[in-house]
Structures are given as C-alpha cells and as structure tokens.
Chain A
Amino acid sequence: MSRPLVVALAGNPNSGKTSLFNALTGARQHVGNYPGVTVEKREGQCRHGDRDITIVDLPGAYSLTAYSPEELAARHFLIEERPDVVVDVVDASNLERNLYLAVQLMELGLPLVLAFNMSDRAKARGLEFDLPQLSELLGAPIVPTIGHQGKGLRELLGVIETVADRPEVRPPHRFEYDPELNDAVDALEERLRGRPELTGRYGARWLALKLMENDAEVCKLVDDPVLKDEVRRRAEEIEKIRGMPPEHLIADHRYGFISGACQEAVRAGVEARHTMSDRIDSVVTNRVLGLPVFLGLMYAVFLLTFTLGEPPMHWIETGVEWLGARVSALWPPGSESPLRSLLADGIIAGVGGVLVFLPNILLLFLAIAFLEDTGYMARAAFLMDRLMHKIGLHGKSFIPMLIGFGCTVPGVLATRVLETRRDRLTTMLVLPLMSCGARLPIYMLIIPAFFPPHWRAPILWIIYLIGIGLAIGLARLLRGTLFRGDSMPFVMELPPYHMPTWRGMLLHMWKRGGLYLRKAGTLILGISIVMWALTSYPKLDRFPEGLSEEARQAEALAHTAAGRIGHAIEPALRPLGFDWRIGTAMIGAFAAKEVFVAQLGIVYAVGSDEEAAEPLRAMLARQYTPLTGLCIMLFMLIAMPCMATFAVVRRESGSWKWAVLQSGSLTILAYLITGLVYQGGRLLGLGL
C-alpha cells in the first residue's frame, strides 16, 4: 500500500477549481474553517489505485500576497502544511493572469502540477498550446482538464502520483530580476541565512523576495532593525533607478516571463472571445436596463426564498408541533412534569424555531450559488458599488443587506461573499437594522391598534426607512471609527458567464446550510433552554379562585423570572413609555422577534392566536397611547437582535466580542432613540 498523499488545489477565483474539486472528491467532502479566520476550508478524499489522496481546495487567489484573508489562508496552508503536491488550476482561456499565481508557486518551491482547466473553452476561443514546450518553460507537468465534465481526472491523478514519488527534491525556481533587485534579494538572502528561526519554513530566498515586495505579514515577522533598514535603502535605490517600487518591478518581471512563455508556446487563432458574455453584459450592465434587471433578479431571489420556502416551513412547523405533542403525550394529561415542559416547550419548540428557517436558508444559498456560479454576482457588485461605496461599503454588501429584509440570519451568512473582514463585519453589524420578516407581526399588531387606516401604510414605510437610515449612519460611523482605513478597493474581475451545474450548486447549498445547522444549532439549543427556564420558573403553585385559563397563564408568567425581570426593569423602561408587561414580552422576543406578540397576548391574558389579535389590540389601545405604540415598534426594530442572529454573528465573526458588542450597542441605541422620541413626543403633545 502506497503512502497517502495530501494535495492542495490552488488557483484563481473563477478558474473552475471548485468544479474540479467536486469532480475529484464527489460527495466525500468536509467543510470547515481555517484556524482563526472565517475562510471556508474544503477538504475531500479520493482514491487512485491503492492510494488515499486527501485533496484540499484552497480559497481562490490571484496572488500569494497578504491582500485578503483568502489569499493569506491559502499561503499559510502551503507554507505551514507543505502538501505533497500543489495542483494549480489554470483557466486555459485566460492564461496570462492565471499563470501569475503559477509563477509564485514555482518560487515557493513546492512540487507543482498545472491543470489546464476549461481547455474546451480555450479551444473554442481559438487558442492552441504547445504543452510540452510550455511545461518545459514553466518547469511543471501540464494536464488538460475539463472540470465540470470530469475530463482529464485520471491523467491528473497519475501525474500527481509521479510528481509525489519523484525521489529528488527540486530547488525553488530562481527568477532573474533586474540587476539591482537581484543584488538586493541575494544580499538579504545571505543575511537571512543566519536566522534559521525565521527562514525555517519559508526558505531564505522567498522571505527576502517578500521583504522587497514590502509584504505586510513578512515585514511584521522580521524585527531586525538593521535588516529593515537595508530593505528600505535598497527599495529606495531601486525606485530611483527603475522609476517604480520593487513590488511593481517584481510583478512586471513575472508578467514579462509569462508573456515570453506564451509567445513561444501559445498560438491565438481568430479572436472569438467573450462574445456570449459580451451580449449578456450589454443587457445586464446596460446604462438603462442594468438597474431594472438587477432589481428584478433580486426580487426573484427574494420571492424564491420566502415564497417557495413557505410550504416546507409549514411542514417543519407542523412536524415540530407533532413531535412536541407526541413527547407531551408520554406524560399523563395535565402533568406538571418539568422534564416534559423542558423537552416540549424548551428544546423541541426552541430548536424547532431555528429549524423552521432551514428551507429559507437552503433556497437562499441555492440562489446565491446560482448568482455566484454564473458570474452575475460580480456584475451586481459592479452595478451597486457607487451607492454602497457612499456609505463606506463594497458593492457586494448590497445582497446581504437586501436578504436581511427577509431574515437577518441568512443575511449574515450571505456576508461571506465579501472579501475583506472590515466589509464583512461592518455589513454584519448593521444588518439587523434591515427590518426582518419576523418583526412584521409586531408592526401588524401595533399599527392597526393605534393608527387610523390612512396612516397605516405610511407608518410601516417610515419604520422601514428609519431602519435603513440608521444602518447607513451606523455603517459610516463604523467605517470612521472601528473599521477606519482606506475604503476597500474595487479591483475586481468580471468573469465570463458560465452555465452552472446543478451538482455544483446543490453541493454549495448543502455544505453551507449544514454548517449553519450544526454550529448555530448547538448554541441555540443552549439559549432555548435558558429562555424556557426564564419564562417558566419559578412556578406559581396556587392560583386565586375562579380565574380563566388565560388569566392563569398571565399570573404564572408574571411570577416567572422573565416576569420579575420585567417588573425590575420597569423603572428603566418608564422613560420610553413602557411598563413591565412590555418589558416581559421583550425578554421573550429574544428567542424570536415574533414571540413578542405571543408573550404580550399572555400577559394581557387574551391568548395569542388570530382571533385574539382584535381583543389584544383593543386592550393595547386602552392601555397605551399611539406614541407608546410607535416607541414599541422603534424599540423592536433597533434593539438586540434575536438569538439566532446572535448565534450566527458569533459564528461568522469568529468571536463572542462582536455578537455581544452588536447586541449591546443596538440595545443602547434603541434605548436612546426610543427615549428621545417618547420624551420629545410628550413635550410636543404628539400622539397622546
């Protein structure tokens, strides 16, 4: 039995790397995260002959600089884990830029195989390759593949084996740069040789080159002031002579080398490039049609997610109810067993409340996978960037924000399309202000209770606008403080359109959806139990005579920890015009926003179903002023997001810090704004 191998798949975004990975590993995949960052790490198994091969699908990268978390993660993996073979997946129809990464992999000195992917498309574009010569020039074997058709896989695996079993270790490729740059790299390499603790994993020459490239991460690694001084001096000298900084000079030489190789070994026939893509783009990024088409597509995504998701949501709801009832039935009717209540009302209801989102999330991921895999996502960012850039965000932030109007949880998950952590966090943190679907029942309860019919639609509209306005303000504030710095550049590829495969999209959808379930599920289970305990304990044993069932429930809730907390925080809520009843209902709303309505129904002892909405509205109208009504909606819009959001932000941001900061500051913001509105309204005598 041969030694098992670890193979890393590297490549540019849009090189077809993922479809090649899917074709190689089938369903035997595992999605995780790289340590410390929320960059997806996909790993899969495959067998070739009697050999087990682990394949790691590195995040797409144009270069091995420290530019984005994805590129850093790819670089770290290559350097730290030293895979047996690196396969660089190259889009053969876009050779020059794709080979730029290959050149850097050559310099890194890992055993390299080039997969010339989409070789069918390259042929259609009239490109002809002299593969033996190219392979000779690039110093690595080349295998033509067509990832989505699974062609060339066997050959690729064979070459991987040959390269892995090669006895001799090849030294890293040494490119010749300008004389000054060569001198500088040689001198630094010499100096670094005396520092094995630095060069150990990287190799002295690579490190020297990266120092000259002014690579942010490598510069941080080297603390020697003398060495740093030399780097600075050499860089200045080179710039004086060559008129550009060393990092540009290095890029220049790499592209020079690639152009040279291509000139010798690639023949471009008749140029028939991009015609299909061009035709699509002349509509979807058209000056007049572009935006309407975009809005239409977004509407379709929204519709698909929330309309098509509706029936399965009901099935899950019914299933959860059925399960709850079955579990309850294990005890005699009327039993007060705490275990029964914990299982049925706490765990099954709580986790069920999260499971219910699954159809939405899966459909949304399917839609996103479609937009990403076809190449439209880049166009959407292209269209919206002007708008989003004004508030300090990237064009791609638009999509998660839009999804947030349906549900914040998939919105937060959709921030994965953003490349930089700053953009991702800013978007994630302001997302709950996009008023989600679960808040709608609250508005639907409150607005008719307090406002005359002709005011209802405008009030609802205003609530949504306030949320959007606050999100814009907050995003700008975050970009000016916590996430200060240059706005993220928009140097982004617009890849040719491409017909996605069902297999690829479904895999995408399933892996991400499963991640949501597994990780968010555990935390939500915990919070559900806490919420259940808060709203069920301590129990009230004896009720006064002659109370209806509803009144008993109200009494019992008032007696629980949640009821008591409601009472305790009443003084703090009074400046907002709220009493303990509203406070108690708000605590329940942490489980899910729409629970607010049910809880208010319980405190007012009118039940919470459809028929009870009218009496509850009448009760609210008697008890509170329209001003308070407005304040309730404002507070529910702005304050602490629901536990599912909390859990998912914690997961996606990689730390508790951001989830706590978000919930805390949104609650404070809600308090301040609601207080201001209530006190201002009272002073002016509005809505009393």
Chain B
Amino acid sequence: MSLSLKDLAPGQRGRIVRLDRRGALGQRMADMGLIAGTVVEVKRIAPLGDPIEVQIRGYRLSLRKAEAAGILVERIEA
C-alpha cells in the first residue's frame, strides 16, 4: 500500500519516496524541490477542502490534492 502526500493530515510529516508525475507538471514539481528524500510537512487544507499547504525545504508551497496524490511518501512518526 503506497501512501501519498494527499493522505497526510495537517501536522503530519513524510519523506518523499517517489515523484510519480511526468511532463511539465512533473518537471515543475521537481524544480520546486519535491524530489525523493525530501521531508514535507502538511500545514493546512484550504477552507473549501482543496488545495493543501505544505512546508518543504524551508518554504511554503500549495498544491492541489490531485497533484499531491502523485507524490509518494513514507510517514515520519513524530
């Protein structure tokens, strides 16, 4: 069972295992630093339920759940 960034609740942290998006979107995600080995923390979910806000490499990034589903993670227990 593979866990994705979308499945993490606010406050939970994970380490990226694989970036499963190709083409321009995959490139952009990699450019923003969403690559294997990086630690991400989900900060909050937008009031309407999508997108989500995460902390990565010391900055804040927002992405849609559909995009977060393409980032496979392993959970880091607090």
Chain A residues with CB under 8 Å of chain B are 62-63, 65-67, 94-97, 100, 213-214, 216, 243-245, 247-248, 251-252, 255, 273-274, 277, 281, 285-288, 290-291, 378, 382-387, 389, 395, 486, 489-496
Contacts and interface: CB of A to CB of B under 8 A. Distances in A.
Contacts of B48: 291, 383-387
B54 to A, nearest CB: 9
Nearest to B36: A252
Nearest to A292: B47
Interface residues of B, number: 35
Given A213-B27, A273-B58, A244 B64 contact: no
B15 to A, nearest CB: 14
Given A248-B19, A252-B35, A285-B47, 10 more contacts: A62-B28, A65-B27, A214-B27, A251-B27, A285-B53, A383-B47, A385-B48, A489-B63, A492-B61, A495-B59
B30 A94 contact: no
Interface in B16-43: 18-19, 22, 24-36, 38
A288 B47 contact: yes
A564 B4 CA distance: 67
B59 to A, nearest CB: 5
A493 B46 contact: no
B42 to A, nearest CB: 13
A164 B59 CA distance: 33
Contacts of B38: 255
Given A96-B33, A248-B30, A285 B44 contact: yes
A60 to B, nearest CB: 13
Contacts of A492: 61-63
B62 to A, nearest CB: 5
25 contacts: A63-B28, A65-B27, A94-B59, A95-B58, A97-B58, A97-B59, A248-B30, A251-B27, A251-B30, A251-B31, A252-B30, A285-B44, A290-B47, A291-B47, A389-B50, A489-B25, A489-B64, A490-B51, A490-B67, A491-B61, A492-B62, A492-B63, A493-B60, A494-B61, A496-B60
Contacts of A63: 27-28, 31
A486 B46 contact: no
Contact of B24 (A216, A244, A384, A496): A216
Contacts of B47: 285-288, 290-291, 383
Contacts of A386: 46, 48-51
A17 B19 CA distance: 30
A13 to B, nearest CB: 12
A491 B22 contact: no
A490 B64 contact: yes
A287 B45 contact: yes
Closest 9 CB pairs of A and B: A251-B30, A386-B48, A63-B31, A494-B60, A290-B47, A96-B57, A490-B64, A386-B50, A489-B25
A97 B35 CA distance: 12
B27 A67 contact: yes
Contacts of A490: 51, 62-64, 67
A494 B46 CA distance: 13
A371 B27 CA distance: 29
Nearest to A91: B59
B53 A100 contact: no
Contacts of B50: 385-386, 389
B59 A491 contact: no
B33 A489 contact: no
B34 to A, nearest CB: 8
B62 A494 contact: yes
B46 A385 contact: yes
A644 to B, nearest CB: 34
Contacts of A384: 48
Nearest to B56: A97
B32 A491 contact: yes
A605 B16 CA distance: 74
A491 B28 contact: yes
A491 B19 contact: no
Contacts of B24: 65-67, 216, 489
Given A255-B33, A387-B48, A65 B28 contact: yes
A486 B25 contact: yes
A244 B32 CA distance: 17
A243 B58 contact: no
A378 B63 contact: no
A291 B24 CA distance: 31
A248 B32 CA distance: 11
Contacts of A496: 60
A285 B31 contact: no
B62 A382 contact: yes
Contacts of A248: 19, 26, 30, 35
Contacts of B26: 245, 247-248
Contact of B25 (A281, A285, A378, A491): A491
A290 B59 contact: no
Given A251-B30, A490-B51, A491-B28, A94 B64 contact: no
B5 to A, nearest CB: 12
B46 A67 contact: no
B51 A378 contact: no
A432 to B, nearest CB: 27
A402 to B, nearest CB: 16
Contacts of B67: 489-491
Contacts of A62: 28, 31-32
